[in-house]
Structure 1
Amino acid sequence: MASMLQEHFTLLNGVEIPKIGFGTWLIEDNNKAAEAVQEAIKTGYRHIDTAEAYGNEVGVGEGVRSSGVDRKKIFVTTKLRAEYKDYEGAQRAIEESLEKLDLGYIDLMIIHSPKPWAKFGEEEHFFEGNLEAWKALEEAHAAGKIRAIGVSNFEQVDLQNIIDNSETVPAVDQVLAHIGNTPFELIDYARQRNILVEAYSPFGHGDMLRNADIQEIAERNKVSITQLAVRYLLQLDLLPLPKASSAEHMKQNADVDFVINDEDMSQLRAITKQQYSAANKKFPVYQA
């Protein structure tokens, strides 16, 4: 298990990022976030993903500081709120994240969405606002406050806007990606531009676990569905961000030192149109 948690991707600016991250979405209590982060680090994770919008940056920072592991060995990602589409607001938000995390610097900070969440399904792409937010991130990066900057939920047109109108290419695009919903065209576009694609909700927010076809392939490989899901993403050169509520599941999700053969990978790639449960459709990213 430990070997995969010790492996890294290299971002386009030379910064190394662990190949598997630990997600903290929906851990809204700071004490619980601190405990989860401590447990993840104890398990071997060295990449922690949070966001301003999660409301747990204070807890995540506390978990990292109290882990007993050198800060420099932990890679911490946070996200600029999707609603900040102005330079001054983005500047303030960056400083607030630095203060709440209290880790000296942020390893990676990304724009959470090209659109405010209330307008996520609308046509407007907020190109100018994203460029203003990006400028604030670029300046914080140049000042040494952030080691790398990127985006999340950006489509090709949103990425191209940043590439065409700024000095810095996003290091990552963090997107919804899992078996049954893999944005192959976006992944290819990003790869051609040396943008690493990170995959959040690698288990389809739980809905994927009920897929009989995926279950059959997991059984054939003698692994759990969650292990198969993480390995699938790694074999596509994506960076998975699994969540787990127990130490046992944290360990299992990272115990992926096996190889899915070409035939099974082809079958997994061909699974499409993941249906999300009504409970999950309250979140904008699952409404498509």
Structure 2
Amino acid sequence: MQTVKLNDGNEMPQLGFGVFQVPDLDQCEQAVTEALQVGYRLIDTAAAYQNEEAVGRAIKKSGIDRKDLFITSKLWVSDENYDRAKKAIDTSLEKLGLDYMDLYLLHQPYGDVIGAWKALEEAQKEGKIRSIGVSNFYPDQLKNLELSTDIKPVINQIETSPWMQEKAEVEFAQGEDIHVESWAPFAEGKHDIFTNETIADIGKKYDKSNGQVILRWLLQRGIVAIPKSVHKNRMEENFDVFDFELTDDDMKTMATLDKKESQFFDHRDPSTIEQIFASSLAQLK
């Protein structure tokens, strides 16, 4: 497996498996079990996904040596301050059935970000987390966190797909020695991404699918990708992306597909922030 070296010296696989929108615990456990059988070693979950227990069960029954796995979870907004973050870290560890997490992220750039980050820094020093990072942070938010705390994030996990390429955001993070990790690399199939003729024409040259071309494109941009699927044949297809390489012309062609608009929601839209906080407050009641 191809890996990337993080700014704290740790290494992580560049291709992993995500479990966003797999709330059914039995289905999630089965999906992670099959992903591990295929060869994935990076598994990405979050408190907000409500499936950490299922991920933990799959890890336990896999029999894979813990040191060979890279497990990520994330802190939700409802716990984004110092005191609640400390408790949330322990809760995630308990649900996952692990002594430590390889990577733990602030899921959103809202709430008491600095206080929560201090809790992550302490947990890292205590050995509960090996690496710490963020998700959905814009460059100014990322820089503010860097300047206000002691430990720099190793990862910024952001929406990144052919329709939302985030060129400036990726360039900024990489310039700060912070890796970018792509969530929703396939944009959930929107705008017929799996049948797009431009991507398909590139794939024909290598006998690869649109999905495989997209993942290869991300890897060659130095981005970590965590595609999700509950179908083992698709997991295998997504994993089979290390035996070909896109040319410079291919990469330039992919760059022309950028719609520069989120396929989900704008994390800077005030109404989006209000909705996220409303759902978070409901969780606390």
Q: TM-score, normalised by structure 2?
A: 0.89
The one-letter amino acid paired with 1:26 is Q
Residues 89-128 of structure 1: matches in 2 within 5 Å? 89-115=84-110, 126=111
- Is residue 124 of structure 2 the alignment partner of residue 141 of structure 1? yes
Structure 1 vs Structure 2: percent identity of aligned residues?
Answer: 38
Contact 2:196-2:210 at 8 Å conserved across structures: no
- Is residue 229 of structure 2 the alignment partner of residue 234 of structure 1? no
Please give the alpha-carbon distance, in whole angstroms, between the structure 2 residues aligned to 1:176 and 1:83: 21
Compute the displacement of 1:166 (Å): 0.5
Residues 1-288 of structure 1: matches in 2 within 5 Å? 6-115=1-110, 126=111, 129-207=112-190, 208-256=193-241, 257-273=243-259, 281=264
Q: Gaps spanning 5+ residues in structure 2: where? A: 273-285
Please give the alpha-carbon distance, in whole angstroms, between the structure 2 residues aligned to 1:18 and 1:272: 26
The one-letter amino acid paired with 2:219 is L
Contact 2:195-2:210 at 8 Å conserved across structures: no
Please give the alpha-carbon distance, in whole angstroms, between the structure 2 residues aligned to 1:210 and 1:151: 32
Compute the displacement of 1:83 (Å): 3.1
Residues paired across the two proteins, number: 267
Contact 1:65-1:103 at 8 Å conserved across structures: no
The one-letter amino acid paired with 1:238 is I
Please give the secondary structure, in 1, of the residue aligned with 2:225: strand
Contact 1:61-1:100 at 8 Å conserved across structures: yes
Please give the alpha-carbon distance, in whole angstroms, between the structure 2 residues aligned to 1:284 and 1:67: 38
After superposition, the C-alpha distances for 1:213-240 in whole angstroms (9 at most, x for unaligned) are 2233223442101000100000000001
Compute the displacement of 1:85 (Å): 2.8
The one-letter amino acid paired with 1:50 is T
Over aligned residue pairs, what C-alpha RMSD do you find?
1.9
Q: Gaps spanning 5+ residues in structure 1: where? A: 1-5, 116-125
Compute the displacement of 1:275 (Å): 7.0
The one-letter amino acid paired with 1:23 is G
Contact 1:180-1:268 at 8 Å conserved across structures: no
What is aligned with 2:279?
A: none
Please give the secondary structure, in 1, of the residue aligned with 2:137: coil
Compute the displacement of 1:169 (Å): 0.3
Where has structure 1 moved over 2 Å in runs of 4 or more? Answer: 82-85, 208-222
Please give the alpha-carbon distance, in whole angstroms, between the structure 1 residues aligned to 2:136 and 2:195: 25
